[in-house]
Structure formats: structure tokens, C-alpha cells
Chains A and B, each alone.
Chain A
């Protein structure tokens, strides 16, 4: 797979027509890609987040000058790494970044995940559960379940111990598992209770 190939059309639309939807599609894809890359390189999660937004703010502001840039994949990674480490030259690192897993390069990976093999109810429960967690825990869940970074990598990026990460992941699965069973039970209870009212009248 050629990196960035999928998004060629979006890049065109963004650089020549200032298309906002195209811009945010590129953003969403590279958000995951650059987070993975940044954390793998040992950077702090919060810094990585801020730098990604910095990169895209810069891209948006200089959109009129971007027409000549065809290898936008390398371009985005270069400015990301420059801003992240405040260094000027990054030839080596960009080449190294090419070794990232294939699935990260595919743009469809986001959509694939949302609907595949999931009931709407399960998605809703999980979404509500995540939304109620502190942001650091949300972040660790994202880094584990979506990016599948290692426990030591996630621990380093968030400034917590490996144990904390592990416990967060374990608890998340455990609670959701229990919660889903409980939901089933409450549905059953409700049904039998409604039945009771019907019959007692």
C-alpha cells in the first residue's frame, strides 16, 4: 500500500478548492496515524495531541500554498515530527515511519470498525461508558483498544505506571461485561413486572 494514496482525492479537494470536509477527513485519518507514531517515539500523549492540532492549523492556514505538494503524506509526517521534537531535519525518521503497520495506512479502517459485528445497543452502551470516564482513561482505552500500543508505551505516554494502564483496561472490560449482563436482567425483570401488573388487574 502506498502511504496516503487513499486520500489523494481529498488532498486535491483541500489544496485546490479549500474543501473543509476533505480537510477533516484527512485530519481524522492522520490523527490516528500521528498519535500512533508520536507515542511509539516516546512522546507524551497531551503533547502529541496539541502538536497534531498545531500541524493541521498550520495546514489550514497555508492551504493556498499547498498545491505544489504532492507527497503530502511525507510532508505531514515531517512537519509533525519537526514540531514534536523541535528539530529541523527528519529524513531518517520519515523513512522509519514507513514501517508502521499496514492497517494504519488504510483510511477505511475507521468506518470498518464502527458498524462491523456490532449491535446498535452495544455501541450505545460502550459510547456512554467511555464518555463518562475521565479524559486520561478515555485516552488509554483509545490507545489500547484502537491503536493497540503496548502497556509500557501507553504508560510512558501518559506518565502513569504500567499497572495503572493494565488496571484501566481490565476494569473497563470487566465493568462493561457486568453492565451488559445487568441490562439483560433488567429487561427481563421489566417484562415479568409488566406481566404481573397486567395479571393483577
Chain B
């Protein structure tokens, strides 16, 4: 039988209908044909059980896989809303909730472990990468550098007119010290997070900035009376204290975001396609050399060669600050870029990765294998070696 050409059979759409006994007209047509051609009948007799098995198993496989995804979506939806009610008021409570949630969600994933093999988890239990944490480097005006993850809590440095102290939860606080004289000239500090680091800075005017991984913020040690200007690379969420006299200005490359008092997020990683500014409260104006747009709450501006404004889900844009990684219709490459920043890993692609769009939410404080396991439900596979993740079809 090998070597027989099956083309005439499989190019005939009635043939599958005949095998599956689906359409009486097609069944009769084929029964008739086979009566006249005993050679063909033999071949069909061999092929028919295969066609039936393929139909049965493929539909079973497909429905099971999709049902698994739906169960996961439902489980996520039902776990998450509890964290959302008081989004930006209490950062510590949020963080605590995120930890609890992460444990819950991780628990669900563990219990829901599907029967089919999971390469990442089973092949090499030791190969895993811990999530990022509160890590940053502070560079003072005189060029001295302080690693904030090692520094003890309490006062970190004192500069002309300002005290800098570190609190326990990855937070750096600038306070004006009335006992010392303010500096004559504006001096700048820079706080920089590595891959796998995040940090919060409370500026001397009461504004708060959360820095995501692989980001930096340069700011004057003390703001002048008329302007509050900072420079950003990477991603940060801002809660700006209102001050009608001194507008706050964030510069990213050649884009500026000008605000009075407001909450917004800027995502400006160099390897992402656009710079996204998302406004949660208040109003901001976004300007580059060609264009200028005003955002209202709930809107996002995407800057490429021009500025495009659209409505967006602001929770997604600041999910990272609330301890979650969120992606909506994201391709695997953009998800892996996020993973590489937060887990400080290198990503390598092997073979042709199926083009799929992912939607999902994963806590930021789980090991990378948990994240990969969720992605593996969609037929993409990973292996971890040291600080490198290999993505395979």
C-alpha cells in the first residue's frame, strides 16, 4: 500500500463527508464509485479508519485545549477583581494584596497542572529565574553612587538643603531640610533601575514616581519656584503633586509631557515600537517637535513619528506598578521583551515561532517558569539555561 497516491481522495471534499457519513448525497456518490472500482475500494477501506480517527482526535484535542484556556481565563477573572477597588491610594496594601493574589494564582496554576508534559517544569527543576525586586542605583550630583538595595534603611545622603532617606519598601524619600542652606545652583540626581529592578522615589515637592525595570529618572535635588523638570528613560508611573505655579515637565528623548497635577504612566523603552503615555487623572499635554496633543483621563497617546491618541484600559498600563504583568493581544516578542526586563534574562528564538496574540495577567513576583508555563498552554515551548530563555515552536 505505501506509495499509492492518495491525491484524488483527499482533494475531494465529498470523501471526508463520506467517511464521516455526514451528507447522504456524498455518501451515495462514494458508495457508487467504490462498487465500480474494487482497487479504490481497498484503498479507501484502509484510509477510512484513519480519517475517522483524525476527525475524532483532532476535534477532541482542539476543544480540550481551548476549554483549558477558557477555564484559565475564568479563574483569572474571578481571582483578580478583589485587588482593584482602591487602585492608587494605598501602595502597601496593594502590594500585599498582590502577593496574596500571586500565591493564590500560583496555587491555581499548580493545581491545574495539565496532564500533558510541561518541559520547563519537568526537564530541569533547578533551571529557573527569580523575579525582579526593589533594586536601584542612585547617582548624586557629585558623581558618587549608592546601591540602594544594599544600603541600610534610614538616611542615605544629605545634599545642600535636602535629606535623602530610604524606607523599607523600596522607596527613596527626598525631604527639604530647613536647617541647611539650599544650593546656589540646580544640581541633579539620577536613580537608575537595572533589569529586574524597580524603585519608588518621593520627590521634594511631594510628587511620587515609580520606576519600572531598566529605567532611569534624572531630577533636580530641589525644584525651583517656576518649573519642575525631570528626564526619563524606560518606564515610570507618576503621581504629581499639584502646584499651579510650577508646572511639572517630563522629557523623554525629544518628547515632553507637561502637567499640572495628575497621575500618568510613560512607557518609553528604546526597544518598543512607540512611547506610550497613559493618563489616569487630570490632564497632560504631549509635545514633540512636530505635534502636540492634550490627553484626558482614560486616554493613551502613542508616539511614533506622530502622536496618536486613543481610549485605553488604564489599569493595564499601570499593572506593573500594582504587581502584575498584563498583556492584551500582545505578540510573543513583546511579552518576551517584558520578561527579559523584569527577570533580567536574555531571549533567544529558535525555529519558526507560531504567530499568536496573547491576552493574560500574571503576577510579577513569581518565578519565570510559572510565566512560561502559562504561555506554554498555547503551544510555544521554552527552555531555560542560566540567564537565557530559548523560545521554540
Contact = CB atoms under 8 A, between A and B. Distances in A.
Interface of A: 24, 27-28, 31-32, 46, 49-50, 52-53, 56-57, 60-61, 101, 103, 110, 113-114, 116-119, 122-123, 125-127, 130-131, 134-136, 138-139, 141-142, 144-146, 148, 150-151, 159, 166, 169-170, 172-174, 176-178, 180-181
A14 to B, nearest CB: 13
Contacts of B77: 57, 61
Contacts, number: 139
B66 A53 contact: yes
Interface in B103-132: 116
Grouping DSSP codes into helix (H, G, I), strand (E, B) and loop, the A interface class, with mixed when no group exceeds half, is helix
B328 to A, nearest CB: 11
Nearest to B6: A173
Which of B16, B70, B73, B354: most chain A CB closer than 10 A?
A: B70
Contact of A170 (B6, B16, B17, B54): B6
A148 B57 CA distance: 14
B13 interface: yes
B6 A114 contact: no
Given A52-B66, A113-B59, 4 more contacts: A113-B20, A118-B52, A131-B61, A172-B54
B49 A118 contact: yes
Contact of A142 (B58, B67, B378): B58
Interface string B351-393: 0001111010000000000000000001100000000000001
B67 A24 contact: yes
Interface in B6-58: 6-7, 10-11, 13, 16-17, 20, 22-23, 46-58
B70 A146 contact: no
Given A57-B73, A148-B13, A169-B10, A110 B63 contact: yes
B60 interface: yes
Contacts of B7: 170
Grouping DSSP codes into helix (H, G, I), strand (E, B) and loop, the B interface class, with mixed when no group exceeds half, is helix
Contacts of A127: 57, 60-61
Nearest to A170: B10
B359 A50 contact: yes
A131 B381 CA distance: 13
A148 B54 contact: no
B62 interface: yes
Given A57-B70, A101-B22, A127-B61, A118 B56 contact: yes
Contact of A141 (B11, B46, B58, B74): B58
